[in-house]
Amino acid sequence: MGSENPLAPNALGPTVCVGEILVEIVATTIGDGFRQAQPLVGPFPSGSPAIFIDQCGRMGGAAAIIGAVGNDDFGRVNIDRLERDGVDVSGVAHDPDYPTGSAFVRYRKDGSRDFVYNIATSAASRFGWTPNVASLVDRCGHLHVMGSALSMPSASMVIEQAARIIKARGGSLSLDPNLRKELRYDADTEARFSDLVRMSDVLLPSGAELERAAGVDGEDAAVGRLFEIGVREIVIKRGSEGASCFQSDGTRTHAGAFDVAEIDPTGAGDCFGGAYVACRRLGMPVNQALLYGCAAGARNVTVHGPMEGAGTLDELDEFIKTTRRLK
C-alpha cells in the first residue's frame, strides 16, 4: 500500500499547464546545428506545456492550457490539435502583433540536440493575467508547472497566482523541473523554482534535476530531503530504463520501459507526465499510472514530431498489449 493520493480528483476541475506554445521544425539529417541550408520537416505542434497537456487530454483527463499564439498558421496548428484532443483553450491569448513561437531542432550523432528558439520575442511569452485566464483558473483542480516556463516573467507571474488560487480551492500542484541546458536560469528564476518545489505535491524530475531540486547529492538523500520540505510523491523518469515512484510513506514502485526503437526522443518526458498526472487524478494507483506514463513516453519516441505519438487510453492499451517490456 502507498500513502494516499496527493493529487486532487479529476472532478475538481481540469489540470492546467501554463507556458510556451510553439511549433517545432526538425532537421531530417543528423549533424551539428543549422549553419548550412538543409532539409527540414514541420511545423509540428510543440512546447513542453502543450505536449504535456495534449497527452493529458488524449488520456481522458480534464485539461486546459494558458499561453499565447500569434495570428498565423503556426498558432492554428497548435490550437487545432489541442481542441481536437479535448484541451480547453479558453486561456490561450491570440497576439495580433507577434508570431507564434518556434523551435528548430537538429540531432547530433551522439543523440544530443542543437536548438534555435524564438520564444522570448514571440507570442509564446506574451501573455498575462486576463479575465479569461482568471475564470479558467477559478475552476481548475490541478496546476502542472514546467520549469522551462519559469524563465518567462509573464508565465512565472501567472503560475504563481494560479498556484495560490488552485491550492486554496483544494487543488494540487505538480512540477517537472524540465531544465534545458540552452535556457539559463538567473537568481530570481532559481528562487521561484525553489518556492515551487516547496509547494509541489508531486515532482517529476529526470537525470540531474532530482538533485538540483533537492539541493542535495545522491538519489536517496535527495528524495528524503524533498519529503522533508513537503513533496508527497516523486516520480523519477529514467529514459530507456523506465521510471520509479517514491511515496512519502516509504513505498517505492519501479516500472520497466518498453522496448522500442527511438526515432525522436523529444516530448517523452512531457507525454509521460501528462499521462501520469491524468491517471492519478482519475484515481488510478501508482503502478498503473507508471505503466501508462511509460507507455505514453515510449509510444511518443517511435514517431517524428514532439507530440505526434501522444496516445489515447485505447491506443496506449493496444501499445501495452503489443510491445515487449524491459525489466
Interface residues with ligand ATP (CB under 6 A)? Answer: 178, 206, 237-240, 242-243, 257-258, 260, 262, 265-270, 272, 294, 297-298, 301
**Of the two residues 64 and 307, which places its CB atom closer to ligand ATP in the complex?**
307
Q: For the chain, what is the HEC assignment?
A: CCCCCCCCCHHHCCEEEECCCEEEEEECCCCCCCCCCCCEEEEEEECHHHHHHHHHHHCCCCEEEEEEEECCHHHHHHHHHHHHCCEEEEEEEEECCCCCEEEEEEECCCCCEEEEEECCCCHHHCCCCCHHHHHHHCCCCEEEEEHHHHHCHHHHHHHHHHHHHHHHCCCEEEEECCCCCCCCCCHHHHHHHHHHHHHCCEECCECCHHHHHHCCCCHHHHHHHHHHCCCCEEEEECHHHCEEEEECCCCEEEECCECCCCCCCCCHHHHHHHHHHHHHHCCCCHHHHHHHHHHHHHHHHCCCCCCCCCCCHHHHHHHHHHCCECC
- Residue 304 C-beta: closest distance to ligand ATP, Å: 14
- Residue 311 C-beta: closest distance to ligand ATP, Å: 12
**Of the two residues 132 and 302, which places its CB atom closer to ligand ATP in the complex?**
302
**Of the two residues 155 and 203, which places its CB atom closer to ligand ATP in the complex?**
203
- Residue 61 C-beta: closest distance to ligand ATP, Å: 17
**Of the two residues 27 and 133, which places its CB atom closer to ligand ATP in the complex?**
27
- Residue 74 C-beta: closest distance to ligand ATP, Å: 21
- Residue 215 C-beta: closest distance to ligand ATP, Å: 20
**Of the two residues 165 and 320, which places its CB atom closer to ligand ATP in the complex?**
320
- Residue 316 C-beta: closest distance to ligand ATP, Å: 12
Query: Could you tell me the end-to-end alpha-carbon distance of the chain, in angstroms, rounded to an integer?
Result: 22
**Of the two residues 118 and 266, which places its CB atom closer to ligand ATP in the complex?**
266
**Of the two residues 137 and 286, which places its CB atom closer to ligand ATP in the complex?**
286
- Residue 308 C-beta: closest distance to ligand ATP, Å: 14
